[in-house]
Each structure stands twice: as structure tokens, then as C-alpha cells.
A and B are shown apart, each in its own frame.
Chain A
Amino acid sequence: MSVLLFAENASGEFKKPIWEAASYGFALAQKMGVALEAVSVGQVAEDELKSLGSYGVTKVHSVSSDELNSFVNTAYAAAVVAVAQASGASVVIVPQTYNGRAVAARVAARLDAAPLIGVVSLLDPAHEFEAERSSYSGKGIQHVKPKRQVLVVSPKLNSFEIAENQTTAEVVSFSFEPEASSLDTVVKNFIKASEGISLTEADTVVSAGRGMKGPENWGMIEELAGLLGAATACSKPTADMGWRPHHEHVGQTGIQIAPNLYIAIGISGAIQHLAGVSSSKNIVVINKDPEAPFFKIADYGIVGDLFEVVPKINAAIKQARG
């Protein structure tokens, strides 16, 4: 028995969602008294594979073949299933990334496993693996009990701390040839989003809304984000009006994020906006209306005119940093 992590790589590297999932997997494996192993699919250098040892992974099954160089969910899921079966995994941990979601679904279907997606608690092996998961777009917590022996678990992104647990990861190559029928989509092109920090991975997000009055005023928002190494986000209407690019729109119909710090400037805090950001660990709200609903879920607030407050904040940060 083991816990198996699907260590998805991004152009040959592991990133934050994998470290989070590995840390979660390690904590769970400890509770179950079993080892944490990982499966990597595609081209990843030996050193990178070994680096998973820093998060408690004792063994990495590396599946690589020319056909698996680019991501195809059917074939990748088949590889994960093959490793899970060969290693007798009873829990498969999959990061809740774009591609991870498709892999989790296929692996769960193939292994006849119970899927536990978006979990916000560590599963409890002593209580039939009961778990808490986020539901109703963050407005509710659902308590669930899986009804199968095999589980596919995706911890909610940005909800668990990355914990280092130094061990040595043994890398073994796992021989697997994808069936031709599983190479069922052909990637023609990748269009990189404009430079900047990825919203879903950012620790700090600076977000602004209609209170900005117009796209020409976003300079101070970008400056603040630059000073903090933060990603920028926006409310839906500002994206709809073309003030900001659509990929910045957060909320119920946009991207859901849970950064460590979310700074909301000139955003009222409509329920649909909050559905995408209320899991943020710390929330700062700057709004001239003391009744703005956003203040109800804020940790820190300033009631004032953003056009005066934000430049002062930028100046204060610069000064504090010398």
C-alpha cells in the first residue's frame, strides 16, 4: 500500500502545486503509516525528479517515451493508472491544476476510485477517510465519506502549506508504452499569456475594479504589483469593458484564487466576486464607501479615495525598502 502523487511537470519542472500536493500526500502517508511515492510522465531530468525527495517522496516512477513529451490527458492518465496498479497505491494525489483535473477524473474512473476533489482538510484514515471539501463556490464546506477502497484526492490549490521533509527519492524508470488510441488529441500550438506572474500560483494578488474609473489609471496598480512581486487581477465589469484582459478576471465566472494576500482596490465585493477570492488567507480592502460589502470579509481596510491612498502606499513600500 502507498500514497502515489501525480507529479505533473511544467516544461520539465515541478512547481508550487506539486510541492503543495506532495506535502499533503506526505502528511497523509504518515497518518496511514505508508510511503509516499510519485509518478512523473514525460521528459524530466534526473535531478528534478530527485528534488521531490525534499517533500517526502521516497520513490519516483518515471514514465517517459517520445509520444508522452506533450500532455495528452488520456495517455497521461493511463500511465498514472499503470503505476498506481503496479505499486499498489490506495490513494492517488493529483494537483488541482488545469491538466491535473482531467487526469484526476480519468484515473478515478479507470480505478473505480472515489474522487475527493478540492479537499480542504487532511483525510482522516481513522474515520473512514472522512474529508472536508469546498463547495458552492466557496460558500460551503461539504463533509464527505468516500465509499471505495481506492481514492483519488486533489487538495484545493493554495490551501495547504508547503512542508519540506528531506528524504532521498529513488528514481526508477517505469516502462510504459501508450496505446495509439490514447494519443487522441493533437496539440498544434501554445499561446503564452502575456508576461507576468500566473494568477493561480501567485502568493500575492493586487486586484482592482470599477472604482479605477478607466484603464488609463492602472499604472499605480501595476506599480504596486511590481513592488510586491504580485500578480494583477480585476473584477468582471472591468474585463467586460475591455479595461483589463479577460484572463485577469476573478470570481465565480472567472478564475478562483486563494493567495496568501489579496489586495482589493475599488472593488465593491459583490457575492460573485467574493466567490472567487474569499479563500484568500489575508484580505486588504481599499474603498471609499465604508458600506462596501468587501469590508465584511477583509482583514485590513482603508476607507478612502484610492487615487490618494494607493500612491502613498507605493511610496511607503519604496521607502521601507530603502
Chain B
Amino acid sequence: MKILVCISHVPDTTTKIQFTPDKTSINANGVTFIIDPYGEYGLSRAIGFTEEGKQAEIVALCVGGAEVEPTLRKALAIGANKAVRIDAPAGDPGYVARQIAAYAGKEGFDILFTGKESIDFNGSIVPGMIAELLHMPFVSFATSMALDGDDKASFHREIDGGEEVLETKLPVVVSCQKGIAEWRIPNMRGIMAARTKPLEVVAPVEVVAYLETTGYDYPPVKGDCKYFPADQPEELVSTLFQKGLI
């Protein structure tokens, strides 16, 4: 079977986000970039299938410029067989989803893993768009996935107020939530092997932009903290009452 893992190239979770002086993009100076953590769950789950005895080719895909290649190499070090970079800017989910759908539609995959949400754009939208464009079922917020033969799968997924257990036929688009797998740390052998694994650069298909980013700002800063004495927390309680907060 063929498994596609869509990963995006995002600032490490500990990054203090700073924008360039003209506020048109983030200032990447000194920022460590990583595989988006939820997309990485998909990669781990895919590798898990091969360990469970499935024959599978795992392709890691990222839409982005040359700067994303180290992130793709990391996916190869963790265990993807092949990496693909669609040479186009990220950040416009309508555009990105159509690039991924064009590639995936041509190649034919049985499972398309994504993260539930990227931690940069935070749209939680690319995966569902890919599913719609490819006429596939979409299981979002998957917390577990098991294959049932070669053409079916069962899932647990997170929803408001609980968990849903569901089944679907393959091919399917899955967006991963915590629980579906554990992140893996690449070992030395993986890192060595990654150097020689294929990383293919694919030209984008023509798509007119859906969104234009005109700039960034910092979120409003919180006001100064008002402190209350530890031995009289009643004062905090009465303030919260007065403000109608409790």
C-alpha cells in the first residue's frame, strides 16, 4: 500500500514568535523549524503499520520552498521512504490543499495522513479540503487507527463531549490527534539512511491564490497583573465577584 504523510514546516513550539520589521512574515533568524507535531503523529502511525507487518511505501510531502528540505530529511530519518517537496509557497490553505490533491490524485495513495492542525497557520482546514477535492472520506481528530484488511480501517476520533468509533473504506484522509501514535526520535542509522533516500522536487500546478497575507501583528498584550496578598485571598474573591467574573 502507499501512504502519504503531509507535513508542514513550522517553528519549534518553544519559539518566541517575532515578525520582520515590516511585519510581513516571521523573522526566521535563529528559529528552529520542526515537522508540525500533529503531522508527525501521522508519520509515526504510518511507520507503525509497517512494523505491524504491512507492506507500505511511506511518502512524506511538504509544500514549501527549499528551506523546508531539512524538515523533509528529518521525516526520512524517522522512517519515510521518500520525500516530496512541491516547490511553492505555503500559508494559503486553499492553494496548498489543491497542490497536495493534484499530486496525490496522480500518484494514488491508500491513506493520506495529515495533522489535525498546523501550529503556524492553525487553519485545521487543509486535510478536509484535500478529502473533498479527491472525493475521499475524511476522518478528523483521529486518536487511533487500525487497518481491517487492505481496503478498510476503523478509528477512534475526538469530538465534542467524547469519542466516536467509526469505520470507513480506503482510500481515506486522516487528520491526527494525540493518541494515534507516539513521536519517534530518529536513530543514527535512520539519519545516515536519510542522506541517500530520494527527495523529489515537484513543480506546482497552476492555482490562483485564495488568500493574500497583508501582514502580521502581535496579539494584544495583557494588562499588568493585579496582585493580592496570599494570606487574604478573600480580596481576590470579592474582586472577581465585583467584576461579575464568578
Residue in A134, A189, A304 whose beta carbon sits within 8 Å of that of B164 in the complex: A189
CB–CB B140/A98 < 8 A? yes
- Give every chain B residue within 8 A of A204 (Cβ-Cβ): 245-246
Contact A190-B212, Cβ < 8 Å, known A106-B129, A115-B93: no
CB–CB A271/B140 < 8 A? no
CB–CB B218/A299 < 8 A? no
Contact A184-B164, Cβ < 8 Å, known A140-B19, A261-B246: no
Name B1-20 residues within 8 Å CB distance of A.
11, 13-14, 16-17, 19
- Give every chain A residue within 8 A of B37 (Cβ-Cβ): 252-253
CB–CB B225/A295 < 8 A? yes
CB–CB B169/A252 < 8 A? no
Name A103-125 residues within 8 Å CB distance of B.
103-106, 108-110, 113-118
Nearest B-chain residue to A148, judged by Cβ? B210
- Give every chain B residue within 8 A of A141 (Cβ-Cβ): 216-219
Nearest B-chain residue to A275, judged by Cβ? B13
- Give every chain A residue within 8 A of B154 (Cβ-Cβ): 188
CB–CB B141/A98 < 8 A? yes
CB–CB A285/B237 < 8 A? no
Asked if A278 is an interface residue, CB under 8 A from chain B, the answer is yes
CB–CB B233/A136 < 8 A? no
CB–CB B11/A304 < 8 A? no
Asked if A246 is an interface residue, CB under 8 A from chain B, the answer is yes
- Give every chain A residue within 8 A of B208 (Cβ-Cβ): 147
Residue in B128, B140, B163 whose beta carbon sits within 8 Å of that of A193 in the complex: B163
CB–CB B214/A139 < 8 A? no
CB–CB A97/B165 < 8 A? no
Residue count of chain B within 8 Å CB distance of chain A: 80
Name B136-172 residues within 8 Å CB distance of A.
136-141, 154, 156, 158-169
- Give every chain B residue within 8 A of A308 (Cβ-Cβ): 230
Complex: A228 Cα to B237 Cα, angstroms:
11
CB–CB B168/A184 < 8 A? yes
Contact A114-B94, Cβ < 8 Å, known A73-B140, A98-B141: yes
CB–CB B19/A109 < 8 A? no
CB–CB B211/A140 < 8 A? no
CB–CB B230/A303 < 8 A? yes
CB–CB A114/B211 < 8 A? yes
CB–CB B228/A302 < 8 A? yes
- Give every chain B residue within 8 A of A284 (Cβ-Cβ): 236, 240
Complex: A301 Cα to B224 Cα, angstroms:
10
CB–CB A185/B124 < 8 A? no
Asked if A31 is an interface residue, CB under 8 A from chain B, the answer is no
Which of B48-56, B63-71, B115-123 lies at the interface? B115-123
Which of A84-92, A164-172, A309-317 lies at the interface? A309-317
Residue in A147, A296, A316 whose beta carbon sits within 8 Å of that of B237 in the complex: A316
The digit string for A93-104, where 1 denotes a CB below 8 A from any CB of B, is 000111101111
Complex: A157 Cα to B226 Cα, angstroms:
27
- Give every chain B residue within 8 A of A98 (Cβ-Cβ): 140-141, 158-160
- Give every chain B residue within 8 A of A108 (Cβ-Cβ): 94, 125, 129
The digit string for A122-147, where 1 denotes a CB below 8 A from any CB of B, is 00000000101011111111111111
- Give every chain B residue within 8 A of A198 (Cβ-Cβ): 160-161
Q: How far is the CB of B124 from chain A (nearest CB, A)?
A: 5
Asked if A63 is an interface residue, CB under 8 A from chain B, the answer is no
- Give every chain B residue within 8 A of A275 (Cβ-Cβ): 13, 119
- Give every chain A residue within 8 A of B136 (Cβ-Cβ): 184
Asked if A43 is an interface residue, CB under 8 A from chain B, the answer is no
CB–CB A105/B125 < 8 A? yes
Asked if A186 is an interface residue, CB under 8 A from chain B, the answer is yes
Residue in A184, A193, A312 whose beta carbon sits within 8 Å of that of B234 in the complex: A312
Nearest A-chain residue to B217, judged by Cβ? A141
Residue in A116, A136, A186 whose beta carbon sits within 8 Å of that of B119 in the complex: A136
The digit string for A3-46, where 1 denotes a CB below 8 A from any CB of B, is 00000001000000000000000000000000000000000000
CB–CB A136/B240 < 8 A? no
Asked if A67 is an interface residue, CB under 8 A from chain B, the answer is no
CB–CB A118/B228 < 8 A? no
- Give every chain B residue within 8 A of A272 (Cβ-Cβ): 13-14
Q: How far is the CB of A161 from chain B (nearest CB, A)?
A: 14
Could you show 26 A-B contacts with beta carbons less than 8 Å apart? Answer: A74-B131, A96-B124, A99-B140, A110-B132, A117-B93, A118-B123, A134-B219, A135-B122, A140-B216, A142-B216, A181-B135, A184-B137, A184-B168, A187-B166, A188-B154, A201-B160, A246-B179, A252-B13, A252-B37, A261-B240, A261-B245, A282-B245, A284-B240, A302-B233, A303-B230, A304-B230
- The residues of B with any CB-CB pair to A shorter than 8 Å are 11, 13-14, 16-17, 19, 26, 37, 93-94, 97, 119-129, 131-133, 135-141, 154, 156, 158-169, 178-179, 208-219, 222-223, 225-231, 233-234, 236-241, 243, 245-246
Closest 9 CB pairs of A and B: A105-B128, A304-B230, A109-B132, A184-B137, A189-B165, A106-B132, A139-B17, A316-B237, A316-B234
Contacts A106-B128, A193-B161 supplied; 7 other A-B pairs, CB < 8 Å? A105-B125, A114-B211, A135-B121, A137-B13, A252-B119, A302-B229, A313-B236
